[in-house]
Structures are given as structure tokens and as C-alpha cells.
Amino acid sequence: MAAPEYVPSAPTTAKHYVSPPQRAGAGSAIRPGETFGAEPTGARLGSQGPDQGYALTLTSVFDNKIELADGEHRSDVDAGCVAVATKRASMFHRAPVVHDLRIAYTVFGYLDENPAAELVEFRKAAFAEVHYSFHYFDRRAIADLVSHEVLGQTPDQVASRYNANWRDQLGQ
């Protein structure tokens, strides 16, 4: 293709890109939202991770599998278990997957057709109305009931531990 007349044709007059000089101290956190190393922890910070809202979409996978007792509401159960699932996902620095929710529902006995009566009473009190936005600290309390050690296991390991003794997984 022909070049316009104003484009230099001599190779000595051609210009090329040159990178700017390297800055001293590059690679250190200097902006307010930047973090290096561990994520910050504390009140109201939760568990940071990418695309955590996707866990809400994944709750539909369990539509026909959740076993609710009288007085329990699916929206409360989903809100509390999503908090646990996003905590697990953030431990692995990834977005939530269906196995995170499976573990959350299993730990609280929502996938069990005949959960222990004591567990049902415990979860009724813990999950009451947590789907409302002003119950954020209650959802955090639900997530904190499940230890990092439990969340680091596979869904099958959690299910077998739940069948052996559900209290071990909830610090009860």
C-alpha cells in the first residue's frame, strides 16, 4: 500500500517508541485502596474476594434440595449460607463456586432430610431475618461460626463430618 507524501521514507528519519525510565520504588503500595500481602481484617470488612455476588445466582442450583423446617425462610437461609460460601471462596482467592454453597448448606443441615432437632433450633435463631440488609453483622456471625479448618475441606469431608457430629463443624 502506498504511503502519503508526508510520511518520511528514509530509514534514518523514522521514529520509534521508547519506554519511559523505570521509576524508583515501583511495586509498593502508595494508593489508599492498594494492598500487598494479606487482606485487611476487622469489623465490617468481611471476606474480600472477586465476584462474590455470583453466589446468589448459584443458590438456584439447590432449589429442590434445601430442607426447611417450619418457621424457616429460604431467603434467610440463602443469605446466611452465601456469607459462609463467600468466606470460603475468599480463602482460595477466587469467585464462589457451587461447592462453596454445598459446604455451607451441609454444615447447617439444610441438605439433610432429618437434621437433629437441636441443630434446627440453633439455625432458626441464627438465621432469623438475616436476608435484610441491616442484618449484616448477623450474617458475619453466621460465617464466623464455621472455622477456616472446616472451610478448607472438600464437600465430601464436610458431609462425613456432619454425619458424625454436626457440632464439631460449628464450634458447638
As for how many domains the chain has, the answer is 1
The answer to the question of residue 2 being in a domain is no
The answer to the question of residue 19 being in a domain is no
95 DSSP assignment: -
Cell of 170: 460449628
Q: Is the model's pTM score more than 0.95?
A: no
- Residue-level pLDDT, tens digit, the chain, 172 residues: 666 777 666 666 556 677 777 776 666 666 666 666 666 677 667 677 788 889 999 999 999 999 999 999 999 999 999 999 999 999 898 999 999 999 999 999 999 999 999 999 999 999 999 999 999 899 999 999 999 999 999 999 999 999 999 888 886 5
How far apart CA 135 and CA 42 sit, in angstroms, is 17
| Residue 67: domain span | 46-170
